[in-house]
Amino acid sequence: MPINYEQMMQSKSTGLEASYGDREVMLYALGIGFQRDPMNEQELPFTYENDLQVVPTFATVIPTGRSRSGDSGGRAMSGINYLMVVHGEQRVQIHKPLPPACDVISDTRVIGVWDKGKDKGAIIVNERVIKEKATGDKLATLVGTTFARGDGGFGGPKDGAPEPHQLPTRAPDLVQACDTRADQAFIYALSGDRNPLHRDPKVAKMAGFPRPILHGLCSYGTACRAVISTLAKYDPKKITSFDVRFSSPVFPGETIVTEMWVDGSVVSFRSKLKERDVVVLNNGKCTLAS
C-alpha cells in the first residue's frame, strides 16, 4: 500500500505526558561515553548527582509518554515499509537548559513528506516540541528525518525537502577522537532504543551486517560529547542546537573522530572512524550561545 500523503500530513499528537530523573540523565551520559576515566573531574557533573548537568542531546531520549486519552503519540506512518526505513537526519534545538529531573509534555506532528521517485524512496520529517509541564516553557524542539527507501513513487511533492548544512572546504580547526566500548550498544539501549539490531548478532546478520551496529543516536551523542569536551569547555548550556545527517553505521568498539570548523557561533562538523576512514556523521551544525 503506498503512502497516504494527506493522512500522514494530518498526523499529530498533543499533550503527551512523561517524566525523567537523574538516573536517566546519568545513564545517557554513560551510554555516549562520558566518565571513561573515573578520575576525570570535568566529566563528573554529567555522571554524578551532585550539581548534575544534562547533555543537550539527551533531549532525543526523553520519553514520548502518553496523552490523558491513552494515545502513545505513535506516528501515522501509513503505508510505510518499516524494513526499509532508516534514520536520515536529526536536529535538536534547545530553548532552555534541560533540568536534571522533569515532568514534560510533548506535541508531535509530521511537518513534511517528499517523494524522491519510485526507486529513490521518500523523505518524512517529524517534529516534537518538549515543554516543561510545571511552567509550559519550551525545553527543546526535535526534528527528525526518516528515509523510507522502499516507499517512493506515491505521488507527493518532489521539491522542498530540507537541504543539508554545507561544511567548509578548509582544513578543520579542531579534531577530537572519542572511543566507543565493545558493549556500548547494550548500555545505550537502556536509554530507550531496544532495537535488537544493535545487540543481537542473528538480527544484525539478517539485516546484512556482520555484527550488531551502534545506535545512530549514540554516535550523534558521542559527537556532542566531542564538542562539549573541547569548544564548550564542559558547559552544556553553551550548546543551543545540534544537527547532523547520518551517513554510515559504527560498530561498537570503533573510534569516532570528529572534525570541527569554527565560524563565530557556528560549529560545522563531521565524524569519521579512525579504524576504517568512513564518514559516519556528515553535514553537522552546532550552534553555540554567545
Bigger pLDDT: 149 or 47? 47
Residue 146 in contact with residue 87, Cβ under 8 Å?
yes
The pLDDT of residue 4 is 82
Report DSSP state, residue 159.
S
Q: Which of 22, 107, 173, 193 is catalytic?
A: 193
Give me the residues paired with residue 92 across strands: 142, 242
193 labelled catalytic: yes
Q: Which pLDDT does position 160 carry in this prediction?
A: 81
Mean pLDDT of 180-185: 97
- Per-residue pLDDT, 21: 98
- Provide the percentage of residues in the chain whose pLDDT is more than 90: 76
Give the mean model confidence (pLDDT) for residues 240-261: 97
Decide if pLDDT at 183 tops 60.
yes
Q: Does residue 126 have a pLDDT over 60?
A: yes
Catalytic residue among 151, 198, 215, 243: 198
Residues 41-56: tens digit of each pLDDT:
999 999 999 999 999 9
SS (H, E, C) 179-248: ECCCCHHHHHHCCCCCCHHHCCHHHHHHCCCCCCCCCHHHHHHHHHHHHHCCCCCCCHHHEEEEEEEECC
Q: Is the pLDDT of residue 73 over 50?
A: no
Domains and CATH numbers, the chain: 5-148 (3.10.129.10), 174-288 (3.10.129.10)
3-state secondary structure 257-288: EEEEEEECCEEEEEEEECCCCCEEEEEEEEEE
Write down the pLDDT at residue 280. 98
In this prediction, residue 74 carries a pLDDT of: 46
Report the predicted TM-score, pTM, of the whole model to 2 decimal places.
0.92
Residue 157: Cβ-neighbour burial (10 angstroms; 0-12, 13-18, 19+): exposed
pLDDT tens readout for residues 134-144 = 999 999 999 99
Most confident option among 67-71, 159-163, 239-243: 239-243
CA distance 43 to 7: 46
pLDDT at res. 82: 64
pLDDT at 87 over 90: no
